[in-house]
Amino acid sequence: MAPARNQSEVLEINGREISISNPHKILFPQAGHTKLDLVRYYLAVADGALRGAGGRPNVLVRYPNGIAGEFFYQKRAPESRPEWIEVVTLRFPSGRTAEEIVPRDAAALAWMANLACLELHPHPVRGDDLDHPDELRVDLDPVPGIEWPQVQAVAQVVRATLADLDLVGWPKTSGSRGIHINVRIERRWTFDQVRRAAVALAREVERRAPKLATSKWWKEERHGVFIDYNQNAKDRTVASAYSVRPKVDARVSAPLTWDEIESCNPADFTLATMPKRFAAVGDRHQQIDSHPCTLDRLLDLSARDQKEGLGDAPWPPQYKKQPGEPPRVQPSRRRTSTPTRAKPRPETQPRQTSGRRVSKHPLIEIGRARHKEDALAGLERWRTKHSKAAAYLEPADVLVDAMRGRFTTWTRVRVNLQHVPAKLQPKQGPLDPDEDIDDWHERRDANHASKARLKPRPPRA
């Protein structure tokens, strides 16, 4: 007989009773893992998981119906929570504030897992100092078509670069296609300074391996492995060590030694296999807090770059325009200052410009949808309709963007036609699919409906 839907199981953890609601709910349909499996996983690796996410404010990324259903980001801690769950108040670049969860022990991890929080998404600060990060994050993100060996190769370039700058890096698989490298730093720099150091590091790695790596922010300019310096901007979070990722095999972000990078396969580290590895070898990042580093040399490198004409790099779109930031518009849509064709003018008359957009890359948008699979289905319809042009596309020419709304993400698909002969390049057409993306009003309406259901009824006369 199937377990009752409202069944719960109570676990005693660190002297606290944690009630796991609907413990047999399937979160990973293909692997068969349940919510209770997720809770037990985090208890098995709690020491390592807390080393990465503990003592830090965390964004809750919730999958209430498993990886096949909708998920959402929850910055604000649930109002209904145990009194022992710690929170801190963060101020975001937008000016808003939110109380976020600060897990301190295994019981807190289990409580978060009961909310179907698969991943741990900590900010790079501690709960007792929210203005000075203690972690520099190096995110190696391969563009489409780039295989794992190239990511491994770039990681080794990062390792050598960090060593030359007197920095100690701690690598881990991202749990997806990339590698994360964390550097513990002294808590004496602001978010902007840490991000500036990350930009300098990304550019230095690109200089050392220009065919393998890139620091270019705009997807249409990227190649190889992108070094995402903007993961160090304030309000950005990254899946931390031991986080379970929303993959069909329940893959996890696995801490590694540098020597392990050469031979490891990210698929080897899953919710099912990591507890055994943890019991056998312990936490590969156990000593990370013993090696806080200085950013002085990276900031000197940043100053040198600026002196040579390399100023700030583009910020994510939701951030306010920053001093010294280049134009925040993708290269394919930048305006040009080419002279207009006009009447001959006297030499003393200033030259006028057209201000027309001239595409550096012939980019068209295919579609946008709430679900990635729907957006990719639209891409396949476009490929069928424009089969001759599609035959010239390279993997990196298809740009699949995960766009973050206030609470959820949606997917935009674009195609770079740079390798398609001009006579075969399709024009921009109607988007397919073309879904209305507005999670703010949906969440607001859902909250109003929920409050209406919970509103107490007046007593009968």
pLDDT tens string 243-263 = 999 999 999 999 999 999 999
Mean pLDDT over 6-18 rounds to 90
Mean pLDDT over 305-332 rounds to 85
Q: Whole-model pTM?
A: 0.79
Across all residues in the chain, what is the average pLDDT?
87
Q: How confident is the model at residue 450 (pLDDT cuts 50, 70, 90)?
A: very low
Q: Is the dihedral of CA 116, 121, 125, 131 positive or negative?
A: negative
More confident residue, 63 or 330: 63
Looking only at the bridges linking them, the beta strands covering 225-227 and 213-214 are parallel
Residues 113-165: tens digit of each pLDDT: 999 999 999 999 999 999 999 999 999 999 999 999 999 999 999 999 999 99
The proportion of the chain whose per-residue pLDDT surpasses 90, expressed as a percent, equals 64
Cα atoms in the 13 Å half-sphere on the side-chain side of 216: 18
How many helical (H) and strand (E) elements, i.e. helices and strands, does the chain have? 11, 17
Residues 54-93: tens digit of each pLDDT: 999 999 999 999 999 999 999 999 999 999 999 999 987 7
The C-alpha atoms of residue 10 and residue 33 are separated, in whole angstroms, by: 19
Instruction: Answer yes or no: are the C-beta atoms of 144 and 400 closer than 8 Å.
Output: yes
Cα atoms in the 13 Å half-sphere on the side-chain side of 418: 16
The C-alpha atoms of residue 80 and residue 103 are separated, in whole angstroms, by: 16
pLDDT at 358: 46
Phi/psi at 365 (5° precision): -95, 135
Measuring CA to CA, how many Å separate 131 from each of 67, 145, 188? 34, 38, 9
pLDDT at 345: 41
pLDDT at 360: 64
Answer yes or no: is pLDDT of 23 > 60.
Answer: yes
